[in-house]
Amino acid sequence: MNGTAVFPSQLSDNAHIAHEELTHALAGRPLIDFDRHTTGSRVAYAAPIPVPAARPTLALGCYNPWYPATPTEAIAAEQGTAVRPGGPRKHTWWDEIAQQAAARIQRFHRPPVVAGWYAAQSLHALAGPHGTIAALASVVRDQIEDKSALGRILRSAGVAQHMKIPARTYNTQLPGLTQIRSDLGTTRIVVQAARDSGGRGTVFVDDERDMERAAKLPGPWRVSAFVEGWSSNTTVLSIPDGRGGVRVYVDRPSHKAIAVSAVGIGAAKSAGNDWSLAWPESGVADVVEAATRIGEWAWRTHRLVGLWGIDTIWTPTGPMINEINARKQGTTEVSGVNQQLAGYPPLAVAHLTTMLGGRVTWLLTADEFNARTITQAATGGAPGPYYLKMRARQAVVTPDDFHGSGIYRLNTGRLIFERPGAHPAEADSDAGLVLIANAPGPGTLCEGGTELGTLEGITTGAASPFAGPGELSRHGQALVNAYEQLLAPTE
């Protein structure tokens, strides 16, 4: 296999149909992708069996793209600089390229289609009065992702009681720790601001000092009992069925590691996801049923279509829902490999076609797709994708001869560059390969806290980077050590 996955034969036919349907939905309009990584759809268009129409005409982001993940054209804040900033500056990349992006879009002959995680104000500015935004409306996203409303949403959707974490919502004032513990009947609690993402508005509370930090979060607040277990993310796609209802497609749940200090990831933040490890079949069936009920509720109340997701915590007795994310997510990119390994293009392609009002004919029925999800997620030993985030724990410099993103081989504790690559399935990690994605270029100063990229691949589980909910495996630690050897510490 030369370290590359073998895809089912039907993937080629389905990718061709998906390309034709997306091309028809775009109707000759330029596709602009707004994503920090500037290669946010690469699993679809840079795949061994690609959907060419998913390659953006123009990608806008922070990090430089790399061959073969390059869009047709890109504007990245990192272009022309030798610094990858850390701290708050890593979130201000749009301000640095907004004028340049607007000037480039004005030269297009047709109004653009602008895709992004959700329809933020920046996407509206890019689309202008005649363009099209292929993303969920911000107001809908805010209502569904409101953590203080999670309990009400789960009740309205009819989600089973055993999948709900004990929690209370406090709207006007956050009580003291003693009162909250009494209300919830537990000692350790989790305080979440109503609107946050990426774990930035979450505080784990063990004592009064933690409670002081939690009290600084803006209200209203969801306060829940701390639940021990594996965190997990599940990608979901909703498509109108043409008869007034909705079809809800549920991908296999991941194993998500949280707060892995060895890669610079703090409390409540994700260090990456692995889809190769099996879950109990009954738990996967519970996730599929809950996601289907939530998707049907979101269609009835908000007409939600496209990509979204749910986060769960897997306890010894089964999964419990702790978040709903009404948008594209950080897991969306690599989770698309699950669909390709099953013979279908990534759900992200169906999402884009659906957001443009197009038809998607290459997917199975939702019932067939979800039944396959339950079987695949509960079967050990089948290949699945993973990614592991890397952040600079101190300032480092990439050497001038650093190859950057691509396929590497782990050999006697070192990462040896093998060839260009951009797709996780090109790196069979059971055979010692790994994809470094979104890496800084040669000669780049990476400030402390900045993203150094992700380590990606496929594995049957033997090369999973995680050994537990917040712990690297021996293989994962070896990858981290080897990657760090490629970088030079600096003052």
The answer to whether 429 and 473 have CB atoms below 8 angstroms apart is no
pLDDT of residue 395: 93
Asked whether the bond before 68 is cis by omega within 30 degrees of 0, the reply is: yes
pLDDT of residue 107: 95
pLDDT in tens, 95-154: 999 999 999 999 999 999 999 999 999 999 999 999 999 999 999 999 999 998 999 999
What's the rounded mean pLDDT across residues 205-219?
89
Give the number of other CB atoms < 10 A from CB of residue 378: 16
Q: Which of 123, 59, 42 is nearest to 349 (CA)?
A: 42
Question: Token digits for 148?
Answer: 């203080």
pLDDT in tens, 186-211: 899 899 887 776 567 889 899 999 99
The share of the chain scoring above pLDDT 70, in percent, equals 98
What's the rounded mean pLDDT across residues 234-255?
97
| Residue 401 per-residue DSSP state | T
Strand intervals (E) in 221-266: 221-225, 230-240, 246-250, 255-258
Whether the predicted pLDDT of 230 surpasses 80:
yes
pLDDT in tens, 301-333: 999 999 999 999 999 999 999 999 999 999 999
What's the rounded mean pLDDT across residues 471-490?
94
In the numeric block, the tokens 């695949």 are attached to 376
pTM (predicted TM-score): 0.95
Q: Which of 9, 34, 306, 310 is nearest to 147 (CA)?
A: 310
pLDDT of residue 111: 96
Counting Cβ atoms within 10 Å, is residue 190 exposed (0-12), middle (13-18) or buried (19+)?
Answer: buried
Distance in angstroms (rounded) separating the CA atoms of residues 410 and 395 = 24
In the numeric block, the tokens 């268009």 are attached to 45
Question: Token digits for 40?
Answer: 């946010």
Amino acid identity of residue 432, one-letter, is G
Strand intervals (E) in 180-254: 189-193, 202-205, 221-225, 230-240, 246-250
| Residue 455 per-residue DSSP state | E
The answer to whether 422 and 435 have CB atoms below 8 angstroms apart is yes
Distance in angstroms (rounded) separating the CA atoms of residues 252 and 338 = 8
* Paired residues of 384 in beta bridges: 459
What is the enclosing helix (H) or strand (E) of 168? strand 167-170
Distance in angstroms (rounded) separating the CA atoms of residues 80 and 353 = 34
The answer to whether 294 and 324 have CB atoms below 8 angstroms apart is yes
| Residue 41 per-residue DSSP state | T
* Paired residues of 459 in beta bridges: 384
Distance in angstroms (rounded) separating the CA atoms of residues 448 and 393 = 6
pLDDT of residue 6: 79
Residue 262 φ then ψ, to 5° = -65, -20
pLDDT of residue 290: 98
- Residue 380's pLDDT band, with cuts at 50, 70 and 90, is confident
